[in-house]
Amino acid sequence: METTWTHRLREAGLRVTRPRLSVLDVLSAHPHADADTIVTGARAQHPTLSPQTVYGVLEALVSVGLARRIEPAGAPALFELRVGDNHHHLVCRSCGAVADVDCAVGAAPCLSPSDTAGFVVDEAEVVFWGLCRRCHGQAAEESETVGGAST
């Protein structure tokens, strides 16, 4: 349904505007998009949209819990619509691709550090670093080539 976002926005106490619907559309199509990707994508529907507006929309969505911001080290922030389940992420060191992971084993094993040093912990954020299938495949090919085989 097309008007689902309209309802979600109003339920959250936000006005329904074109920039917001465009951003939500882009996020549906790109589940882990950075601000720049969102600006570019949203301009398909709203060509005059400015980056600042997108930042404003994203902040509004995050603050009412319709979107979540993730910030992998060394990369611009990413936004996703999957909220409320505190899932984690796989990040490719080579191409930056991101995939979702449900919390590792059972409920929330990572929420139990052995010694919290007096901290009251409310969230455990986990990032798995590695290579995505494609980049890992390329790395393997290259080492083969280096090894001698060609073509």
Partner DNA sequence: CCCCTTGTTTTGAACGAGTCAAATCAAGGG
Partner DNA sequence: CCCTTGATTTGACTCGTTCAAAACAAGGGG
Residue ranges for the known binding site for Zn(2+) are: 92, 95, 132, 135
Three-state secondary structure call for residue 24: helix
In the complex, least distance from residue 33 CB atom to a second copy, rounded to whole angstroms: 17
Which residues form the interface with DNA (CB under 7 A)? 9-10, 13-20, 34-36, 46, 48-53, 55-57, 59-60, 71, 76-77
Per the annotation, binding residues are 92, 95, 132, 135
User: Quick one: 59 or 142, whose CB is closer to DNA?
Assistant: 59
Do 94 and 137 contact (CB within 8 A), yes or no?
Answer: no
Closer CB to DNA, 18 or 133, in the complex? 18
Do 75 and 96 touch, CB atoms closer than 8 A? Answer: yes
Choose among 68, 73, 75, 104: nearest CA to 88: 104
Phi-psi region of 89 (alpha: psi -120 to 50; beta: other; left: phi over 0): beta
- Which of DNA, a second copy, none lies near 26, with the C-beta cut-off 5 to 8 A by kind? none
- Supply the minimum distance, in Å, between the C-beta of residue 139 and a second copy: 9
Match 């790109």 to its residue by tokens: 30
